[in-house]
């Protein structure tokens, strides 16, 4: 297979996608922020920190130097958490050749805090025009995909012409990408559902019942729609697998880091304790709650769920109070 594929970011999701493609026969290069992860992948074919328990293909090679992964790539999967996207995009910029075209797929689920930009927008602002950008988002808990559980996902881009190739590259008998054109819509879905997942974790930690969770998930979907309207997204995207599909998967899964972040908080753990227990993994919803709360305030959008979760996470509001305030508001 001649297409050169590189993955930037060797967390759980970057490693899972890299491994999926390597198992299809591509010689995949993956860049890792941590040197130990490079050693773990190259020497032992495992990503012990971020994807334990999954044997990685011999076709997957890890690096810490961007010069080894960017210049010759045809397709780049950009899989660093949203808070690092701008910084890493600036770092890879000098390594692009002007003589060829690149396709870059962003898979992070977040919104930039101070600019309220989506990840595709941050990347387009920084990277040259010969890098055509797409986004991938869906109910895609990495360790389930890595174990080849049947999974759907959505790939979207303003460059419609690149979608058929991207769909074909990612498709396997257990991973099915659907192409749509609402790039902003799927990115908003991915960022916003994490806030609801934290709220559901709080409900689990407080041992509230399924009725409460049913109301909160419904509210999460409503808020997704409200924010999406401001970003000019298509309403139907929120009722597709990147929207309600991912909301259901993340809110109901024991594997979700966002859901378990809320659960640990409600069990009385401190932010510092939770950070240690997460072993370097991210809970994007913590930052999404902050950025989307401020975006909503500035644009007069009523988002009671996001507001309450923001107050719990960033203003130390007691969780019981937040949930009961929320349920009297809806
Ligand atoms: N893990 C999953 O199931 C899924 C994750 N995503 C999204 O993918 C994105 C990446 O998350 P994961 O792969 O889960 O990461 P992770 O939570 O498994 O690991 C954290 C990642 O952050 C990197 N990192 C730490 N400090 C850094 C720095 N200063 N600069 C650059 N990178 C640094 C680590 O090397 C590691 O790759 C997130 O936006 C997440 O929401 C999307 C779908 C599924
Ligand atoms: O985005 C995800 C599933 O679609 C992963 O969710 P967590 O980051 O909460 O683990």
Q: Is the ipTM of this complex over 0.90?
A: yes
The CATH number assigned to the domain with range 4-181 reads 3.40.50.720
Task: Write the DSSP string, 53-114.
Answer: T-PPPTTEEEES-HHHHSTT-SEEEE-S-HHHHHHHHHHHGGG--SSS-EEEEE----B-TT
**CATH 1.10.1040.10 domain range(s) in the chain:** 184-328
Q: Is 311 in the pocket of ligand 2 (CB under 6 A)?
A: no
Is domain 184-328 annotated with CATH 1.10.1040.10? yes
Rounded CA separation 229/149 (Å): 33
> What are the tens digits of pLDDT across the range 152-208?
999 999 999 999 999 999 999 999 999 999 999 999 999 999 999 999 999 999 999
Would you state the pLDDT for residue 86? 98
Ligand 1 pocket: which of 9, 11, 170 to mutate (most atoms within 8 A of CB): 11
User: According to the annotation, is 137 in a ligand binding site?
Assistant: no
User: According to the annotation, is 67 in a ligand binding site?
Assistant: no
Is the pLDDT at 222 greater than 80, yes or no? yes
The whole-angstrom distance between residue 178's C-alpha and the CA centroid of its chain comes to: 17
Whether the Cβ atoms of residue 56 and residue 41 lie closer than 8 Å to each other: yes
User: Ligand 2 centre from 2 Cα, in Å?
Assistant: 31
Which candidate in 103, 132, 193, 290 is catalytic? 193
Whether the Cβ atoms of residue 155 and residue 136 lie closer than 8 Å to each other: yes
> What are the tens digits of pLDDT across the range 237-277?
999 999 999 999 999 999 999 999 999 999 999 999 999 99
For residue 193, the ligand 2 atom closest to its alpha carbon is 1
Average pLDDT value for residue range 48-76:
98
**CATH 3.40.50.720 domain range(s) in the chain:** 4-181
Would you state the pLDDT for residue 329? 63
Would you state the pLDDT for residue 1? 77
User: Ligand 2 centre from 194 Cα, in Å?
Assistant: 7
Ligand 1 pocket: which of 7, 8, 13, 32 to mutate (most atoms within 8 A of CB): 13
User: Ligand 1 centre from 109 Cα, in Å?
Assistant: 9
Would you state the pLDDT for residue 328? 81
73: CB partners within 8 A, 6+ apart: 4, 5, 6, 29, 102
Q: Examine the residue annotation and report whether 193 is marked as an active-site residue of this protein.
A: yes
């Amino acid at each position: 297979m001649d297409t050169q594929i590189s993955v930037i970011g060797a967390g759980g999701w970057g490693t899972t996608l890299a491994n999926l493609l390597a198992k299809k026969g591509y010689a995949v290069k993956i860049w890792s922020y941590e040197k130990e992860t490079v050693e773990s992948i190259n020497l032992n074919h495992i990503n012990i920190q971020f994807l334990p328990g999954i044997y990685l293909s011999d076709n997957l090679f890890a690096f810490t130097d961007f010069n080894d992964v960017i210049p010759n790539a045809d397709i780049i999967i950009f899989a660093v958490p949203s808070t690092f996207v701008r910084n890493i995009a600036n770092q890879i910029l000098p390594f692009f050749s002007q003589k060829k075209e690149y396709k870059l797929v962003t898979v992070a689920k977040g919104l930039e805090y101070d600019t309220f930009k989506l990840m595709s927008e941050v990347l387009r602002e920084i990277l040259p025009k010969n890098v055509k950008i797409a986004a991938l988002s869906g109910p895609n808990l990495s360790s389930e995909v890595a174990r080849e559980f049947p999974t759907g996902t959505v790939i979207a881009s303003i460059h419609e012409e690149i979608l058929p190739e991207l769909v074909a590259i990612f498709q396997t008998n257990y991973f099915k990408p659907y192409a749509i054109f609402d790039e902003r819509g799927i990115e908003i879905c991915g960022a916003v559902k994490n806030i609801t997942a934290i709220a559901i974790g709080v409900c689990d930690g407080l041992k509230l019942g399924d009725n409460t969770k049913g109301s909160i998930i419904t509210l999460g979907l409503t808020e997704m729609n409200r924010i999406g309207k401001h970003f000019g997204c298509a309403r139907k995207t929120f009722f597709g697998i990147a929207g309600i599909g991912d909301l259901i998967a993340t809110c109901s899964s024991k594997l979700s880091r966002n859901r378990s972040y809320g659960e640990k908080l409600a069990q009385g753990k401190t932010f510092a304790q939770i950070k240690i227990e997460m072993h370097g993994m991210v809970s994007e919803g913590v930052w999404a709650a902050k950025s989307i709360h401020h975006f909503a305030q500035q644009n007069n959008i009523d988002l009671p769920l996001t507001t309450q979760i923001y107050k719990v996470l960033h203003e130390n509001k007691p969780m019981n109070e937040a949930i009961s305030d929320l349920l009297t508001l809806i």
